A and B are shown apart, each in its own frame.
Chain A
Amino acid sequence: MTIAFDVMGSDHGPEEIIRGAAQLTLDTPHIHALFVGDRSLIDHALRSIRHNAERVVVHHAAQFVAMHEKPAAALDEKRDASVLVAAQLVAAGEAEALVSAGNTGAGVLACARTFKLIPGVKRAALATVYPTQSPHGEKDDPFSLILDVGATVDASADDLVAFAIMGAAYSRIISRNLNPSVALLSNGTEAQKGPPRVVEANARLQHVTGLRFIGNVEGVDIPKGTADVVVCDGFVGNVCLKMLEGVHETVMALAKYAYKEKLLWRAGLAMLSGGFERIKEVTDWEQYGGAPILGFDRIFIKAHGKSKSRAIMNAGKVAAKAVANDLARSIQEGLKAS
């Protein structure tokens, strides 16, 4: 199985991407890495990184989309952008999945322009994992899956139903959660609460066979981990995600303030540091590697822009797992049943 890695455009540069993927070629004999990007940078990095050259192939792409660029305009202008070339190679069958830590919009757009939507899916969804209070699935996963967090801003009831089925399929395969609980994010747990599209989706999801739909959940239920899969439209999902990130940053800032302010508080924080470290380990997003774009016939894992080699390696593993378990077919079957 070959995984294409867009090595350009991430915060830490090509070397971290190459290092992570190179480790995959050493640890997992069935995975080959296809590096797409500036060939001279890739060659330079590969020369000093331990890898298995029998499982590495390089495809030169002279351009890339930077983080600050507007995706559509950049892809129109840069026909040889690494993410677009990588997506084209996946579509052509040169690789089975794509991993990128570059510009998210460009990644989604490159896939939209190159891959096909799974029959029954009208719009793709960007999913992400979030650390929760309750464990999930066979692996006692501390994360729940939220989708969509930005790909489809104005999702219809049809889209929300498709997202629920796609999220459940992903959770079954990646988290080994055979019967994941799926919920709709709304402003109340009652089925009638929320905008018309959410109410309609709620009504329809209750009749989808093979899906453990538990109804609506509120924002407070996301960190609690009430549901394994939380479904919302891209606008709400993105606002939620940013707010959760903001809360995290504020808590960290407050802790830093407390640490500086009083000796007693400092002592208290020091005593709790072991616990903090444990929480950090358990909720370490790098073990997940990246967020999947669901709905296309090919797999795309969007790794965080700040991803280091470990996160990239895990993103590659997640992509390989999704391919090996035929995620697209699983989603398609779920949609047929709905």
Chain B
Amino acid sequence: MSLVDRIDPVPPSRIYRWDLDKTYLQTDFDSLRQLVRTALQKATEKKAVPGAAALIRELKARGDSRLCIVSGSPTQMRAVLSEKLKLDGVEFDELVLKDNVSNLLRGRFKALRGQVGYKLPVLLESRARAPAASTEVLFGDDAEADAFIYSLYADMVARRVNEPVVHRVLEASEVYPDDITRIMRQWEKIPQADAVQRIFINLDRLTPPAFFSKYGPRVVPIFNYFQAALVLMADKHLTATQVAKISVEMIQTAGYNLLTLSNSFQDLMRRGLPMAEVAHALTEALSGPQALFNSVRPVPDILAAFTKRIAALGATPAPPEARDVDYLSLIDDARPRDKKAKKR
């Protein structure tokens, strides 16, 4: 960031909100042993999901964006998480962690596992501080309730859900009454805006994509961050060169190859995402004097691999239709994972 930017920062026009565990970081805490190990890990031992750091760096490169992180990790991990992000070259603007000690001392045991009562007010508070015209892209995962919470947040900001529905949803999600009051107050303060453009759900558990179709096309389940980069390129958040940089990092550091990347590209096409223009722009960028991909593999091979994947599909499918989300019918998605498992 330049000195001028630091003295007189440009108001952010784009906000990228990230979860940490299983979205940015590869974390296993399904058992108590894994939970303890995660808590004791040093920053250098923590691993980011392939491509996540590169994607954030490229998104931040424009200079008019904010990176806001909301994580369910305890506040005691702030130092180690900040260090990890620093090691990855990720500069964040907000890092909100969960104060579980306070929850424990106040006997709020439901809040220890609950996600809605924690994340929703934090998101709304952050939105209240943001410029009204700013747009948002949110990143979560399929392990907890991110698709539900993010979609509810997006529809609350856009006023696509009304107060009684939100109230019933929060009650059904077992949010404490004082948190419900806090959420409602914050919501009132926020100007109406259709701010949330995309919600990416990292498929850490490889949940079938159809599971998220009930949230509409705004929610895009992704198998890796190359897919997120492609969609963000279609949405004009990234350029072809930036997407190339992200994929090169994934190839060089995480074992991705032409096959896995071109398969990921085809997967998005099959789901009706607008990839035709992206493919064209990528082709043009690669055909030009761009030596980035040449360091990994000859450009003709890359073009051939992606062209084959497009040709193999025949006609382009219709994009998924937008729909209103019926949050009350999806309330099970908002419950903590162990309760969901019991119900299923």
Contacts and interface: CB of A to CB of B under 8 A. Distances in A.
B223 A52 contact: yes
A52 B260 CA distance: 10
A55 B263 contact: yes
Given A32-B259, A47-B208, A60-B312, A54 B213 contact: no
A46 B313 contact: no
B298 interface: no
Contacts of B208: 46-51
A54 B313 contact: no
Most buried by B among A32, A52, A53, A59: A53
Nearest to B314: A60
A58 B206 contact: no
Interface string B64-94: 0000000000000000000000000000000
B267 interface: yes
A43 B264 contact: no
Most buried by B among A49, A54, A58: A54
A39 interface: yes
Given A26-B206, A47-B209, A39 B223 contact: no
Given A58-B312, A58-B313, A46 B270 contact: yes
A59 B267 CA distance: 12
Interface in A25-42: 26, 32, 39-40
A2 B312 CA distance: 15
A297 B209 CA distance: 38
B317 interface: yes
B259 to A, nearest CB: 7
Interface residues of B, number: 25
Contacts of A54: 223-224, 256, 260, 263-264, 267
A148 B165 CA distance: 68
Nearest to B205: A50
Contact of A60 (B213, B264, B271, B313): B313
B312 A53 contact: no
Q: Is the interface of A mostly helix, strand, loop or mixed?
A: mixed
Contact of B266 (A48, A50, A58): A58
A155 to B, nearest CB: 38
Given A51-B208, A52-B206, A54-B223, A43 B263 contact: no
Interface string B162-200: 000000000000000000000000000000000000000
A57 interface: yes
A39 B313 contact: yes
A53 B314 contact: no
Contacts of B259: 2, 32
B223 A43 contact: no
B305 to A, nearest CB: 10
Interface string A1-33: 010000000000000000000000010000010
Contacts of B317: 40, 43
Interface in A41-77: 43, 46-60, 62
Given A26-B206, A51-B208, A43 B312 contact: no
B322 to A, nearest CB: 17
Contacts of A26: 206
Contacts of A46: 208, 270
A253 to B, nearest CB: 41
B270 A58 contact: yes
Contacts of A94: 308
B207 interface: yes
A50 B206 contact: yes
A39 B271 CA distance: 11
A156 to B, nearest CB: 41
Contacts of B46: none
Contacts of A58: 266, 270, 312-313
Most buried by B among A43, A62, A94: A43
Nearest to B272: A43
Given A54-B263, A55-B260, A60-B313, A43 B270 contact: yes
Contacts of B209: 47
A39 B313 CA distance: 7
A47 B206 contact: no
Contact of B207 (A50, A55, A57): A50
A47 B320 CA distance: 12
B309 interface: yes
B272 to A, nearest CB: 9
Nearest to B270: A43
Contacts of A57: 262-263, 266, 309, 312
B210 interface: yes
Interface string A194-210: 00000000000000000
Interface of A: 2, 26, 32, 39-40, 43, 46-60, 62, 94
Interface of B: 206-211, 213, 223-224, 256, 259-260, 262-264, 266-267, 270-271, 308-309, 312-314, 317
14 contacts: A40-B317, A46-B270, A47-B208, A47-B209, A48-B210, A50-B206, A51-B206, A53-B263, A55-B260, A58-B270, A58-B313, A59-B313, A60-B313, A94-B308
Given A40-B317, A52-B223, A53-B267, 8 more contacts: A47-B213, A47-B271, A48-B211, A54-B267, A56-B267, A57-B309, A58-B313, A62-B314
